Amino acid sequence: MRARTVTLRDLLLGILLLWMAVVIWGAFLWAPAASGFKGQSSRIVFFHVPTAWVATLSFLVSFVTSIQYLRTRDPRWDVRARASASLGIVFTVLATVTGSIFARIMWGSYWNWDPRETSITFLLLIYAAYFALRAAVPDPERKAALAAVYAILAFVTVPFLVFVVPRIYWSLHPDTIINTQGTIKMDSRMFRVFMASLAGFTGLGVWLYDLECRIEALRRRAEEEIL
């Protein structure tokens, strides 16, 4: 029988498990609901904003790793770029879904074509095209090079679609965490849970990213062995 050893990774994952459990408890039972929102709907901030944060971070990683691929032509950078872009799409979908539920409660409809909703749709389409491009090119080196160039161009749109466009037009969306005066107006308990959630989701994102990279590396290794 195989002996099980507890590694540093196991320890960190155990901390993540408990951390997120505490965040969930704090988000629902410890932090108060914010004023100006219907019922308890403001609690979605503890999940919606961190998912959007991890999505933006993933697209940034995809951008940096794509540059690294073009510089070095090392296929490991391509694996990382692909993994982070896929993670970015998943977390963007999660941010969209949680935002739509909030919209249904606050504004009576899941979708209102608000500037934020529209810009996140564009972002999803841009990164969906990244995977369409990868699927369309059979040669691995050519695929990696084209995808890297596309990922760099795609990331140029991220600051505009995530930060600029929603602030230019009138929006139903509540004021951002760091508001236009550059301050944070949030109850101290809410703020603590929010920051803990941000850290927890970032940890979860890093774990999933690492896992995706390792699986992709294994898949490529298996393919090479078959060939």
Binder among 76, 174, 199, 203 for another protein (CB under 8 A)? 174
Residue 62 CA to residue 95 CA, distance in Å, equals 18
Give, rounded to a whole angstrom, the gap between the first and last alpha carbons of the chain.
33
Binder among 118, 121, 157, 171 for another protein (CB under 8 A)? 171
Q: Is residue 104 a contact residue for another protein (CB under 8 A)?
A: yes
CA torsion sign for 50, 42, 178, 183 is: negative
Residues 31-90 that bind another protein (CB under 8 A): 32-42, 44, 47, 86-87, 90
Residue 227 CA to residue 212 CA, distance in Å, equals 23
Q: How far is the CB of 153 from another protein (least distance, A)?
A: 24
- Cα 81–87–92 angle (5° rounding)? 125
Q: How far is the CB of 137 from another protein (least distance, A)?
A: 12
Binder among 11, 15, 28, 153 for another protein (CB under 8 A)? 28
Q: How far is the CB of 5 from another protein (least distance, A)?
A: 10
Q: Is residue 21 a contact residue for another protein (CB under 8 A)?
A: yes
Binder among 108, 136, 139, 182 for another protein (CB under 8 A)? 108
Contacts of residue 26, Cβ cutoff 8 Å, sequence gap at least 6: 46, 189, 192, 193, 196
Helix axes 8-25, 188-226, angle to 10 degrees: 140
Task: Say whether 178 sits in a helix, a strand or coil.
Answer: strand
Which residues sit at the interface with another protein, rule CB under 8 A? 9, 13, 16-17, 20-21, 24-25, 27-29, 32-42, 44, 47, 86-87, 90, 93-94, 97-98, 101, 104-109, 112, 170-177, 179, 184-188, 190, 207-208, 211-212, 214-216, 218-219, 222-223, 226-227
